[in-house]
Amino acid sequence: MRRSLRALQFNSSWHTSYKTYAGSRQYRSTSAPVTAIGALETIAKRNPALNAFASHITPAEIGSSETSDDPLKDWPIAVKANIATTLPSATSCASRALDTYTSPYQASVVDSLEGAGAVVVGKTNMDEFGMGSKNMFSMYGAAINPHTPSSGAKRKDMAESDHRTPGGSSGGSAAAVAAGMCRAALGSDTGGSVRLPAAWCGVVGFKPTFGRISRHGLVAYGSSLDTIGIIARNVADVQTVFSVAAAPDPLDMTCMSSPLRARIKALADSRS
C-alpha cells in the first residue's frame, strides 16, 4: 500500500504543464550564459577539465543579431561535431578520418538558428560517428560529466577512475549545457543519443518527431531513425529553440512540408 501511494503521488506530476516545470526553482536555468562572451569565458575555465567542446570560436568571431526582437538574440548555441557548419573547425564526427574536413555549407537547422539571432560558439565532442553511449570513443578523448566531483581539475590531472561519463553519443553537447558553457546545444538522436546524455547530466533532452526538424547537413547514422535534437537547461529554452528549428526544408525530403504541418495542426485543434 505504501509503495502504491508513493507511485500515485509521483505520477500526479506527469500532468503538470511544462510551463510550471520551466518556471519552478528546481528546473529553471540558474547559470546558463546570457551572451556569447559569457559562454566563451566559461568555456575557457571549464572545458580543459570537461573536454565537452572539440573546438570553439574566439571573441573576435562573434557576430551580432540584426534586430532586437530576434527570438534567439545572442543565445550561445553549441553544435555537435556531426552537424555541418561553416566554422573553420572540422565537421569531423570525432573521427580522424574527417579531422581536416570543413563543410562547404551549413545544416539547415544551423542556418535557421543563426537567422533567429543565435551565435554558434563551437562544435561539441561525441562518440565517433555517433557509435557509442558514453562519449569515450572519440578522437578528442573522452568527455567528462560536469557532475564529476573533481571536474574543476584539469582532465590530465584527474584519475581515470574519477571520471563520470556524460553519456552519448551527444555527450559533449549535454556536458556543455550542464556546465553553463552554452544556453542550448544541438545533438543527434538515433536511439537515445540526445536523451541519454541529457538525463545523465541533469538537463533536458528532446528528440522531436521524425520530420519536424530538417536533417539536411547531419552526417547520417541510421537515416530512418535519425533526428536532430535539442538540449537545454530547462523545458522553456528547449521549446524556444524548437519553435525556430522546426521549419519545413525542401533540401530534406523527409522533412514535413508546410501543408502537412498545417493538416496535423488542424487535426490536433479539432480534437482539443
- For residue 32, the model assigns a pLDDT of 72
pTM of the predicted protein model? 0.86
**CA dist list (Å): 254 to 95, 130, 216, 218:** 27, 20, 9, 13
CA distance 245 to 116: 10
- For residue 17, the model assigns a pLDDT of 52
User: Could you tell me whether strands 76-80 and 184-189 are parallel, antiparallel, or unpaired per DSSP bridges?
Assistant: parallel
CA distance 236 to 72: 12
Contact present, 65 and 172 (Cβ < 8 Å):
no
107 burial (CB, 10 Å; 0-12 / 13-18 / 19+) is buried
Phi, psi dihedral angles at 83 (to 5 degrees): -115, 125
Catalytic residues, which ones? Answer: 80, 169, 193
181 burial (CB, 10 Å; 0-12 / 13-18 / 19+) is buried
88 burial (CB, 10 Å; 0-12 / 13-18 / 19+) is exposed
- Over the chain (272 residues), what is each successive 10-residue block's mean pLDDT? 39 46 46 86 97 96 78 97 94 97 96 97 98 96 90 58 89 98 98 98 98 98 96 97 98 97 95 87
- For residue 161, the model assigns a pLDDT of 60
CATH class label, 28-271: alpha beta
- For residue 3, the model assigns a pLDDT of 42
Amino acid, res. 145 = N
- For residue 69, the model assigns a pLDDT of 85
